[in-house]
Amino acid sequence: MRKTRVWITLGCCLFAMAVFAGAQSNRKPGLWEMTTNMTWQQSPMPPGMTMPPGAHSPFGGGPITTQVCLTQAMIDKYGAPMPQNQHGDCQITNVSLHLTGMTASMVCTGQVNGTGTVESDWTIPDHAKGKVHFVGTMQMGQNSRPIEWTSESTSVYKGPDCGSVKPLPMPAGK
């Protein structure tokens, strides 16, 4: 179960990256601070099972703030950093960049199967708001459990130097 929790936490954080976006013409490469709040409409946790007290739950329970290094290549290809996963099970498709936003689809196969929608809006270059909604199933041992989650984020530009924050590699897209 611990391995599953780690996978879920990693996956949630990486999926949440999809909500952070920038336009090709007015987004700034560099360090961005992203605050994400994730809610589960359908959690893979079995009924009655809870996280230990003090444990960081991947199933919501408050905002998570991270720093992201947005590169010009990410801006040019996707308008934003896209979700990463260690298994290479998710692809970003149907990316549509607009002057003040972007939309895309996310398709996952493997331990997590399902589809998601990615959208982001920005009206000024230093701020962005985004949302990811995902519906699918998660393999947990021999069982497959339905999942559905929504992640909403706000992002603020901090400066052109990413310092020690390394950019994530860009995923393969279709």
In a domain, 59, yes or no: no
The pLDDT tens digits for 8-54 are: 444 444 444 444 433 344 678 999 999 999 898 988 877 766 655 54
Tokens of 166: 């390394």
Residue 165 in domain: no
Going by C-beta distance under 8 Å and a sequence separation of 6 or more, which residues neighbour residue 111?
7, 87, 89, 138, 139
Q: What is the pTM of this model?
A: 0.77
pLDDT tens-digit map of 131-153: 999 999 998 889 899 999 999 99
Top-confidence residue, 162 or 40: 162
Does 28 reside within a domain?
yes
101 assigned to some structural domain: yes
Is the residue at 109 inside a domain?
A: yes
Whole-number average pLDDT of the chain = 78
CA dist 165 and 161 (Å) reads 9
**Which residues form the domain of 101?**
2-44+64-159
Whole-angstrom distance, CA of residue 91 vs CA of residue 107:
5
Helix then strand then coil, % of the chain, to nearest 5: 15, 45, 40
- Condensed to tens digits (0 to 9), the pLDDT of residues 60-73 reads 567 999 999 999 98
Domain membership of residue 174 (yes or no) is no
Whether 132 is covered by a domain: the verdict is yes
Tally the domains of the chain.
1
